[in-house]
Amino acid sequence: MKGETMNELTREAAVSLCSKVREQNRACLSSSDRMECWRCERQSSGNPGRMYMSRIQGYLGCELVNKLRARSERARGV
């Protein structure tokens, strides 16, 4: 993903990706990604406008959401 510029996400797409990231992280009992999701969810009270993903315009502020999106796009060959 380094050197690549990602297009902005819609709020709905970002929320959907965030939900998938959290679901994947629930499967891991102890990981830094799981803790990051937990901390984000707790600090934002579940409000997408206050989550890490909204820190950068276009909902590109969460590294975990961006990684999942990049993996999905590579798998589809986009």
Could you write out the DSSP letters of every residue in 31-55? -HHHHHHHHHHHHHTT-GGGSGGGG
Query: Mind listing the pLDDT tens digit of every residue in the chain (78 residues)?
Result: 444 567 899 999 999 999 999 999 888 878 899 999 999 999 999 899 999 999 999 999 999 999 999 999 888 885
What are the extents of the domains in the chain? 11-76
- Predicted pLDDT of residue 76: 83
- Amino acid 66: pLDDT: 95
What is the predicted pLDDT for the residue at 5?
Answer: 63
pLDDT for 30: 81
**Distance (Å, whole) CA 15 – CA 49:** 10
